[in-house]
Amino acid sequence: MQTHITTTPFGRRPMTLGQISNQMAARTAKPEAIVHKWQVFQNIREARELLGATDRSLTILNALLTFHPETALTGDAEIVVWPSNVQLMARANGMPATTLRRHIAVLVDCGLVVRRDSPNGKRFARKGRSGEIEQAYGFDLSPIVARAEEFKDLAEAVRAEKKAFCVAKERLTLLRRDIVKLIEAGIEEGVPGNWGRVQQNYQTIIGRLPRSAPRQLLDDVCMDLHALYADIRAELETFTKSQNPDANESHSGRHIQNSNPDPNFESEYSLPKQVEASCTVEETDNVRSLPKRELPLGIVLDACPNLLELARGGEIRHWRDFLAAAEIARPLLGISPSAWREAREAMGEQHAAITLAAIYQRADQINSAGGYLRSLTDRARDGKFSTWPMVMALLRAKLDAQRTAGNAGGPRSERSVGTAPSLRVSEALLKNLQRPKSR
């Protein structure tokens, strides 16, 4: 008995050219084709984003496959299942009926199943006298066989893309680690160079990365980071070769040690004697008699106004802004991260920032800021250093300069110190500033 195989959906559901295309693809299954339905389903699950399927629609497809008793699907047989909505909802973990119908439509639009609707829209099968199925109305699973190779290729493409993404993330992590450590090595080893600018370039490149970046953007950022890494590495290798010229010659060559190194080269571990002598009297002596209260931010800024040029907007309102400006000044002074970390541990974060601001204020008088900071850190550990005399010395020098300018250009108030018009020095502090320096 000849039966008509329906190709249009029941009821108000429209027919589309996409459904016709999917039905044409389902008829391309070769008769000798044999596939493992769960292997194909695994490929579909991995390539679901490329196919346009959702996780809920694949839950329904999984349930539909369970209604077919055979694991192996062939291209020479009708593969139609006809479960009711109640049976489908039970095997789809209790999915609501409205959600079920919506995601069945997704499966049809993706071409994963083909509708075989009966005249009244019910799903059933008509059997012959011998028990074989003559006509079935429900869901045709023949696309699983016809498109098995396509699903496999899509799954392999997705796996390859995931692998490439993981490789790009690993490369990004390694480049970031190498660049940061090489910059720290350059600063700590005293390699000449504008390391502050290098750090800014690094932050600019990293700032292009959003929270979730696609692989193409990762590849572009990695390319720029690799170029920056190559420049830093070349600079460090060039400096290393200049320090050890015999390294590239024969291993048996005699090493010549220079007993009279260049006096102009100074490591931060070797503090110039001139700087030590200039800070011993007014900055480190008589620490026990210093005031026990904290330094006001206004007095510190009046003593170290140069730090304002590094602040955002040229203004410092809170200690938080002051600490941020000190972090910017550190690489500009050539102070290594280790020296800065030790200073903060010995003095505290706020006093270490005040010390760095004072060093930045006198940068033209200090040849090795890193060595100077390490010397003050050692004295702070021994309880022989305080920021009070350092700030007072800067204010006293500023007051002396204002006196000289006042005598040359007319009367000037000695009670106003600095550029801030609202800052007034108390009587006790003014008396301390006017005290003659000890010799």
Instruction: Report the number of distinct structural domains present in the chain.
Output: 3
Q: How far apart are CA 75 and CA 64, in angstroms?
A: 18
**Helix, strand or coil, per DSSP, at residue 127:** strand
Residues 52, 175 within the same domain: no
Q: Interhelix angle for 387-409 vs 273-284, to 10°?
A: 90
- Structural domain range at position 113: 17-146
Any domain includes 158: no
Same structural domain for residues 206 and 351? Answer: no
Q: Is 178 found in the same domain as 137?
A: no
Q: What is the pTM of this model?
A: 0.48
Ordered alpha helix ranges (H), 14-128? 17-26, 37-46, 48-51, 55-66, 85-91, 97-109
CA 304 to each of CA 106, 110, 356: distance values in angstroms, whole numbers, following the listed order: 69, 69, 10
Residue 47 is assigned to a structural domain of this protein: yes
Q: Are residues 222 and 289 in the same domain?
A: no
Question: What single DSSP character describes residue 153?
Answer: H
User: Do the beta carbons of residue 332 and residue 301 sit within 8 Å?
Assistant: no
Q: How do strand 114-116 and strand 133-140 relate by DSSP bridges?
A: antiparallel
> Are residue 375 and residue 335 in the same domain, yes or no?
yes
**Same domain, yes or no: 278 and 329:** yes
Residue 81 three-state SS: strand
Q: Are residues 339 and 418 in the same domain?
A: yes
Q: If you ran DSSP here, which 8-state letter would residue 256 be given? A: P
> Do 404 and 373 belong together in one domain?
yes
Any domain includes 265 = no
Q: Are 234 and 278 members of one domain?
A: no
Q: Please tell me whether residues 119 and 200 are part of one structural domain.
A: no
Output the six-digit token pair for 435.
């005290």
- The reply to whether 364 and 419 lie within a common domain is yes
What would the two tokens of residue 398 be? 């500023």
Say how far apart CA 85 and CA 72 lie, in whole Å. 25
Q: Is residue 425 part of a domain?
A: yes
pLDDT digits (tens, 9 = 90+) for 349-382: 899 999 999 999 988 888 888 888 998 999 988 8
User: Which residue numbers in the chain have pLDDT < 50?
Assistant: 1-2, 4, 247-292, 410-424, 437-439
Q: How many helices (H) and strands (E) does the chain have?
A: 18, 6
Could you tell me the two tokens for 77? 């047989």
Task: Provide the pLDDT for residue 248.
Answer: 47
pLDDT of 95-145, one tens digit each?
898 999 899 889 988 888 888 877 767 877 777 777 677 777 888 888 888
Whether residues 113 and 217 fall in one domain: no
pLDDT given for residue 354 in this prediction: 93
Total length of the chain: 439
